[in-house]
């Protein structure tokens, strides 16, 4: 019985990950550089559907780069933004995975004592949902929620760098330096100490 239960939980978690991957990648509107009218028409269509801020601003930056024929400032900005979008999208995927996994564990924390109270002491369900498993499940829920919070912060930081790169009037070298410094902060690894209020 416990083997079937483990298979069910594993299948559910894999299903959630696949659905999240499809949602993040599957509903993308392709941006194409063609003529002025087509580019202006695409600006309105880009905002439709589910997408992160990073993906939206990356598409807008690509359209601006298509219109920028005199100098290559907008193309360089788009290149920076595309690099940041890849980071932000991966962080968005990770924070969604950890959010849903922590939600499943949180539901287990609530359901476990209920199932334990309505099953008889010698039954298989009582053994699977034993009270000794509650601290481990609570710990896993807390860990997943902490990882969700950390990845959400990294996604937000990457999206803020995208906003800076897109809307800044600074020189491209200054923007590039600021983005590099921001990325090195974001890529510094897990920073759980920032989550603890002192």
pLDDT of residue 147: 92
* Radius of gyration over every alpha carbon of the chain, rounded to an integer in angstroms: 23
Residue 196: inside a domain: no
pTM (2 d.p.): 0.73
How far, CA to CA in Å, does 123 sit from each of 7, 62, 140? Answer: 19, 61, 25
How would you write the pLDDT of the chain (198 residues) with one tens digit per residue? 455 666 676 777 677 766 666 555 545 556 666 666 666 666 667 766 667 888 888 888 888 887 776 668 888 898 899 989 988 988 998 888 899 889 988 988 888 888 777 777 777 766 666 777 788 888 989 999 999 999 999 999 999 999 999 999 999 899 999 999 998 888 877 665 655 665
Residue 197: inside a domain: no
Residue 195: inside a domain: no
Domain that holds residue 67: 2-189
- C-beta atoms surrounding 130 within 10 Å: 11
Question: CA-to-CA distance for 51 and 55, rounded, in angstroms?
Answer: 6
Structural domains in the chain (count): 1
- DSSP label at 29? P
pLDDT of residue 145: 93
pLDDT of residue 156: 93
Question: CA-to-CA distance for 55 and 57, rounded, in angstroms?
Answer: 6
């Amino acid at each position: 019985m416990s083997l079937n239960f483990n298979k069910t939980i594993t299948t559910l978690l894999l299903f959630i990950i696949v659905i999240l991957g499809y949602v993040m990648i599957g509903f993308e509107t392709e941006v194409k550089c063609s003529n002025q009218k087509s580019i202006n028409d695409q600006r309105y269509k880009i905002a439709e559907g589910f997408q992160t801020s990073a993906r939206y601003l990356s598409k807008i930056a690509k359209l601006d780069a298509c219109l920028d024929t005199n100098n290559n400032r907008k193309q360089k900005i788009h290149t920076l933004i595309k690099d940041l979008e890849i980071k932000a999208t991966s962080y968005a995927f990770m924070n969604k995975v950890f959010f849903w996994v922590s939600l499943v564990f949180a539901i287990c924390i609530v359901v476990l004592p209920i199932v334990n109270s309505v099953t008889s002491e010698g039954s298989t369900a009582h053994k699977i949902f034993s009270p000794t498993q509650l601290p481990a499940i609570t710990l896993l829920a807390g860990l997943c929620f902490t990882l969700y919070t950390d990845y959400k912060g990294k996604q937000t930081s990457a999206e803020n760098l995208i906003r800076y790169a897109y809307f800044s009037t600074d020189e491209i070298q200054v923007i590039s330096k600021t983005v590099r410094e921001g990325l090195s902060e974001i890529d510094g690894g897990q920073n759980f100490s920032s989550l603890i209020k002192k």
